[in-house]
Amino acid sequence: MSAVGVAEAAQAVVADEPVAEAARRRRRARRAARRRHGRRQAHRRARQPSAGSAGWTEAHVRRLFWRAGFGATPVEARRWAKRGKTATLDFVVNGPPGGAQLRGLEPRVDGRTLDPLNEWGDNVLWWLDRMVRTTYPLQEKMTLFWHDHFATSDQDTPMMLAQNRMLRRRALGSFRDLLGDVTRDPAMQLFLSLAGSTKDAPNENFARELMELFTLGTGYSERDVREAARALTGFIADWHDNGTVTIQYEADEHDDGVKTLLGRRGPFGVDDVLDLVVAHPKHAPFLVEKLWSFFVATPPSRETVRALVATYRANDLRIKPLVRAILEHPQLYRKLDAPDLVKCPVVYVAGALRTTGSHIVQGYPTWLLETMGQYPFYPPSVAGWDWGPAWMSSNSMRQRFTLGNYVVNYGRPRVRRGSAPATLTAQEAYELAWRAVAEPQVSPATRAALVHLAAHFFDDLDPDWRDKADWRGEALQATLRHLLLVCPDSQLH
């Protein structure tokens, strides 16, 4: 090409440049409009979720996944809303084919792998990690339930971890089998002094809690406790030089005399006692009502208790059919827009990590759970923890606020440099933060307050350069994400 031709071509390019730039601006504007439309649609789905089948919505899925586990991600909520109630319950109750697996990044603390047997707090992180990464959340939720029901505390870590694995293995099976394993569990035997209870000096601790807290609640007498204690004698603790302990049953230390227990008479032994308490008329209603209160905030009607008791007994005291009957009950799904069950600290922490796609990379959950009042493996007494509004003490709420800081700083919701320009509108800033923390359920009042905060977050800046203050936009994002994680709505499920 000649010099004249090059010059003419250059002039043409210069002449076309404003046109090309205008076209690019129009394309960017269209893409931005589509993104805003998509965000509005996503937020509208969260407020008024579309029905999957027979009125099964994302709100139903979120309620179920929180009550039966540790919350739903946005992808899970949309997927299972489309699948319908029956398919969702099948998945939640039965777990995935092949059993539970742990998916995602393995936990690390300051770059090291966990050492639950030797490092303080690593046993708590080990279990919390299972809640965060498991493909079968109900199994972990029921393990937590049984840890509270059969509360055992302050025993050597190897024994507590062994008990935890046993509770998980039996979590949804036969209650009678679970009770048998708990009775023979070394940590439980040492905690309630069943080991060392002999015919010459029977100890009543385990016998009393077996009836009062584990199986009946009422319907037994002091004589029943004494007679059960006699029948439960014979277990001896054998301490070894390396600090470990094994439990042996020695028939010579067992009281094989005739006992009168719960209206029956005979030379009862350990398994006879367990058979008698689970056959007692008070047992099924006692366990049904306790399980119900774990999943549902409002008390069950008499008709509901009768129906659930029938389900429990018809299935030979198996837990899974009973839990499914509770999880599919309409009462669990009342007031989907106004949750009324307080998240216990363990569920709150595990749920904040799981739903946001975060993992354990720091040791902060250990001391946070301790100061929140629920430190796994250390329940306060044989009666377990106090549930419900008792979790919302001033100190516990302060630590929940602190958790939000850690998740935003170390978890997936952390704000990346350049991801939150100052030019976002208040609504856009709110929706960006809401998506970053897994689209949680938020009341209209909370949403309005946060949008108002975003609208006035730059008021102290000079209008001439506020649009360039991206650092302030990033600070707004961190603030909104933190508040969404710790606001009053996030404390309930």
Quote the strand ranges of 15-146, DSSP E.
Answer: 108-109, 112-113
Cα separation, 131 vs 125, in Å, equals 10
Q: Using CA of residue 275, residue 281, residue 286, residue 292, what is the dihedral sign?
A: positive
How many structural domains does the chain have? 3
Q: Is residue 374 part of a domain?
A: no
Q: Is residue 407 part of a domain?
A: no
Q: Is residue 111 part of a domain?
A: no
432 CB contacts (<8 Å, ≥6 apart)? 39, 420, 424, 477
Mapping DSSP onto H, E and C, the string for 160-174 reads HHHHHHHHHHHCCCE
Asked which of 284, 317, 333 is the last residue of a domain, the reply is 333
3-state secondary structure of 464: coil
Are 319 and 439 members of one domain?
no
Residue type, 361: V
Residue type, 5: G
Q: Is residue 164 part of a domain?
A: no
3-state secondary structure of 432: helix
Contact present, 446 and 487 (Cβ < 8 Å): yes
**Is pTM, for the whole model, over 0.85?**
yes
Where in the sequence is the domain holding 16, given as residue range(s)? Answer: 1-47
Q: Is residue 240 part of a domain?
A: yes
Are 328 and 430 members of one domain?
no
Q: Which residue has the tokens 């839990």?
A: 323
**pLDDT number for residue 293:** 97
From residue 216, give the alpha-carbon distance in Å to each of 43, 266, 318: 47, 21, 17
Cα separation, 486 vs 429, in Å, equals 18
Report DSSP state, residue 215: I
Tokens of 56: 């099964």
Query: ∠ at Cα 267 (264, 268), nearest 5°?
Result: 70
Backbone angles phi, psi at 256, to 5 degrees: -95, 15
Are 324 and 215 members of one domain?
yes
For residue 131, give the H/E element and its range.
Answer: helix 122-133
**pLDDT number for residue 23:** 46
**pLDDT number for residue 462:** 87
Q: Is residue 376 part of a domain?
A: no
Residue 100: CB atoms within 10 Å: 17
Q: Is residue 86 part of a domain?
A: no
**pLDDT number for residue 463:** 83
Are 196 and 314 members of one domain?
yes
Q: Is residue 393 part of a domain?
A: no
**pLDDT number for residue 15:** 37
For residue 180, give the H/E element and its range.
Answer: helix 175-184
Are 218 and 322 members of one domain?
yes
**pLDDT number for residue 241:** 78
Asked which of 333, 360, 387 is the last residue of a domain, the reply is 333
Asked which of 333, 357, 389 is the last residue of a domain, the reply is 333
Tokens of 405: 């800081």
Low-confidence residues of the chain, pLDDT below 50? 1-28, 37, 39, 41-52
